[in-house]
Homo-oligomer: A and B are copies of this chain.
Amino acid sequence: MKEVKNKQILFRGFITGVPKETDMELREGTVGLKIPEGIKGALVKNIYLSCDPYMRGRMRENYDSYIPPFSPGSVLKGFGIGRVVESNDEFFKPGDVVSGFTGWEEYSLIENTEQLKKIEVDEKIPLSYHLGLLGMPGFTAYVGFYEICSPKKGDRVFVSAACGAVGQLVGQLAKLHGCYVVGSAGTKQKVDLLMNKFGFDEAFNYKEEKGLVSTMRRYFPEGIDIYFDNVGGPTLDAALLNMRINGRIAICGMISQHSVSSVEGIHNLSALIPKRVKMQGFLQSDHLHLFPQFLDCVSDLYKQGKIAYLEDMHHGLEIAPKAFVGLFSGQNVGKQVVCVSPE
Complex-state Cα separation, A260 to B271, whole angstroms:
9
Q: Is A150 an interface residue (CB 8 A)?
A: no
A154-162, A197-205, A273-281: which lies at the interface: A273-281
Given that A265-B267, A267-B261 are contacting pairs, would A282 and B273 also be in contact in the complex, using a CB cutoff of 8 Å? Answer: yes
* A176-194 Cβ-contact flags toward B at 8 Å (1 or 0): 0000000000000000000
Does A26 sit at the interface, judged by CB under 8 A?
Answer: no
For A274, list chain B residues within 8 Å (CB).
65-66, 281, 283
Chain B residues with Cβ below 8 Å from A280 are: 272, 276-279
Task: Please determine whether B270 and A232 come into contact, CB atoms closer than 8 angstroms.
Answer: yes
Give the contact stretch, choosing among A122-130, A251-259, A298-306. Answer: A251-259
Interface residue? A286 (CB, 8 A) = yes
How many residues of A are counted as interface, with CB atoms below 8 angstroms from the partner's CB atoms?
35
Q: How far is the CA of A127 from the CA of B325 in the complex (A)?
A: 65
Asked whether, in the complex, the Cβ of B286 is within 8 Å of the Cβ of A282, the reply is no
Please give me the residue from chain B that is nearest to A275 by CB atom: B281
Residues of chain B within 8 A of A276, CB atoms compared: 280-283, 286
Chain B positions within 8 Å of A251 at CB level: 269-270, 272-273
In the complex, whether A262 has a CB less than 8 A from a CB of chain B is: yes
Asked if A37 is at the interface (CB within 8 A of a chain B CB), the reply is no
B282 and A279 within 8 A (CB) = no
- A268 contacts partner chain B, Cβ-Cβ < 8 Å: yes
Interface residues of A in 38-69 (CB under 8 A from B): 65-66
Cβ-based interface call for A208 (8 A)? no
